[in-house]
């Protein structure tokens, strides 16, 4: 499986970050810390510090929102896929993303936050989701590039989450990563086929790579130096590898794939550094990243409006399901009486 090669040991020093000052019960806190230090799992019924719970709810719900908003840019291409085979693959992939959202909402619900609360956060614009989905998919090549690079970056991020200290999140990630592996491969394969096609097809792939490359590097989040919450996440065993280390792994894995494909990654500073045994790469435009995170990307409003409309349009389904459940319950009670 594509993802297995990325399963690497934790970053050195992750556990040496000092503990955040705690106002919790010292005995409970000590037992929790000992479990984390021993690389044990925390389960829903276990005691946990409020800050740990809050961090997980925020992270898992953001992840869930990213999955379901991520259905939209590619969903736009289902009706325009170039063949029956590509259409079937794309439908399966977009459905997988919906499933990922459902596993993750369920995982977050075990922390005591309801799905309605989480969706309210998304619909009101308070909750964030991955800003990569606020860019448009202009051509069919974008669908391939999203599979190759966006799902590829997601895998890089998610493989270490399979070992997250919170049990339900870690277990959800195992299945998610298997499906992400398929997403990455189908995208790369679609691009390989296009790169054997006409000059126009090759140019379309290169154009899509040019538009998505830098945005994918930004997906790993701000540089470690500007990411103060990362250290706490690593101390808690939620985050296992830092943003910059994940980004570096992604660049190193992607360069040879680009060569096989025959595309150029749009970075004049991208080159192998013999001393570091890694690729050097250029400056990411963090202003653009923050603008998009803060709601001013090209598709933020459209994505949110589409989600809100889908939720409102589905109200009758939720109402009908609840009415049916109530009726079943009443029937059962009558039979029991
Ligand atoms: Fe996904
Ligand atoms: Fe995916």
Identify which of 93, 100, 95 has the alpha carbon closest to the alpha carbon of residue 63. 100
How much distance in Å is there from the Cα of 94 to the middle of ligand 2?
A: 8
The kind and range of the H/E element at 280 are strand 278-280
pLDDT score of 14 = 47
Residue 35 pLDDT exceeds 90: yes
Residue 23 pLDDT exceeds 90: no
Q: How far apart are CA 2 and CA 199, in angstroms?
A: 29
pLDDT score of 12 = 47
Identify which of 54, 32, 28, 243 has the alpha carbon closest to the alpha carbon of residue 157. 243
Mean predicted confidence (pLDDT) in 40-59: 96
pLDDT score of 1 = 42
Q: Which ligand is nearest to the CA of 151?
A: 2
Using DSSP's 3-state secondary structure scheme, residue 40 falls into coil
Enter the tokens of residue 76: 């736009």
Range with the poorest average pLDDT among 135-139, 226-230, 269-273: 226-230
How much distance in Å is there from the Cα of 276 to the middle of ligand 1?
A: 32
Residue 3 pLDDT exceeds 60: no
Taking the alpha carbons at both ends of the chain, their separation in whole angstroms is: 55
Q: Which ligand is nearest to the CA of 3?
A: 2
The pairing of strands 278-280 and 271-273 is: antiparallel
How much distance in Å is there from the Cα of 327 to the middle of ligand 1?
A: 35
How much distance in Å is there from the Cα of 154 to the middle of ligand 2?
A: 7
Residue 159 pLDDT exceeds 60: yes
How much distance in Å is there from the Cα of 236 to the middle of ligand 2?
A: 26
How much distance in Å is there from the Cα of 167 to the middle of ligand 2?
A: 21
Mean predicted confidence (pLDDT) in 194-207: 98
Q: How far apart are CA 309 and CA 166, in angstroms?
A: 33
Using DSSP's 3-state secondary structure scheme, residue 272 falls into strand
How much distance in Å is there from the Cα of 318 to the middle of ligand 1?
A: 24
Enter the tokens of residue 100: 């990922």
Q: How far apart are CA 29 and CA 92, in angstroms?
A: 44
pLDDT score of 231 = 84
Q: Which ligand is nearest to the CA of 101?
A: 1
How much distance in Å is there from the Cα of 153 to the middle of ligand 2?
A: 10
3-state helix, strand, coil in the chain (%, to 5): 70, 0, 30
How much distance in Å is there from the Cα of 4 to the middle of ligand 1?
A: 17
> Average model confidence (pLDDT) for the chain?
92
- Cβ burial 268-302 (10 Å sphere, 16+ → b, else e): eebeeeeeeeebebeebeeeebeebbeeebebbee
18: confidence class by pLDDT, cuts 50, 70, 90: low
How much distance in Å is there from the Cα of 61 to the middle of ligand 1?
A: 13
How much distance in Å is there from the Cα of 145 to the middle of ligand 1?
A: 15
Q: Which residues contact 267 (CB under 8 A, 6 or more apart)?
A: 213, 214, 281, 282
Which pTM does this prediction carry?
0.90
How much distance in Å is there from the Cα of 6 to the middle of ligand 1?
A: 17
22: confidence class by pLDDT, cuts 50, 70, 90: low
Provide the percentage of residues in the chain whose pLDDT is more than 70.
93
Q: Which ligand is nearest to the CA of 66?
A: 1
How much distance in Å is there from the Cα of 93 to the middle of ligand 2?
A: 7
Mean predicted confidence (pLDDT) in 95-111: 97
How much distance in Å is there from the Cα of 37 to the middle of ligand 2?
A: 32
Residue 216 pLDDT exceeds 80: yes
């Amino acid at each position: 499986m594509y993802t297995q090669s990325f399963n690497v040991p934790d970053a050195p020093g992750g556990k040496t970050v000092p503990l955040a000052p705690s106002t919790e019960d010292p005995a409970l806190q000590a037992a929790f810390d000992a479990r984390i230090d021993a690389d044990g799992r925390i389960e829903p019924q276990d005691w946990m510090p409020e800050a740990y719970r809050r961090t997980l709810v925020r992270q898992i719900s953001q992840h869930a929102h990213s999955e379901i908003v991520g259905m939209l840019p590619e969903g736009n291409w289902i009706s325009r896929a170039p063949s029956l085979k590509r259409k079937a693959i794309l439908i399966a992939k977009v459905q997988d993303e919906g499933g990922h959202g459902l596993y993750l909402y369920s995982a977050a619900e075990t922390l005591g936050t309801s799905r309605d609360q989480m969706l309210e956060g998304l619909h009101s614009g308070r909750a964030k989701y991955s800003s990569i989905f606020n860019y448009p998919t202009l051509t069919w090549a974008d669908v391939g590039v999203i599979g190759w690079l966006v799902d590829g970056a997601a895998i890089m991020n998610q493989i270490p989450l399979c070992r997250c200290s919170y049990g339900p999140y870690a277990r959800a990630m195992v299945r998610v990563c298997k499906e992400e592996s398929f997403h990455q491969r189908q995208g790369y394969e679609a691009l390989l086929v296009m790169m054997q096609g006409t000059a126009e097809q090759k140019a379309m792939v290169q154009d899509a790579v040019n538009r998505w490359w830098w945005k994918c590097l930004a997906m790993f989040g701000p540089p470690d130096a500007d990411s103060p919450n990362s250290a706490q996440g690593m101390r808690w065993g939620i985050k296992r590898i830092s943003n910059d280390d994940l980004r570096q792994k992604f660049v190193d894995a992607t360069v040879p794939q680009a060569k096989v494909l025959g595309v150029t990654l749009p970075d004049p500073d991208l080159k192998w550094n013999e001393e570091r045994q890694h690729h050097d790469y250029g400056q990411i435009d963090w202003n653009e990243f923050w603008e998009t995170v803060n709601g001013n990307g090209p598709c933020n409003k459209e994505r949110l409006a589409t989600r809100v409309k889908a939720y409102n349009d589905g109200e009758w389904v939720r109402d009908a399901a609840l009415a049916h459940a109530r009726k079943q319950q009443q029937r059962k009670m009558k039979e029991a009486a």
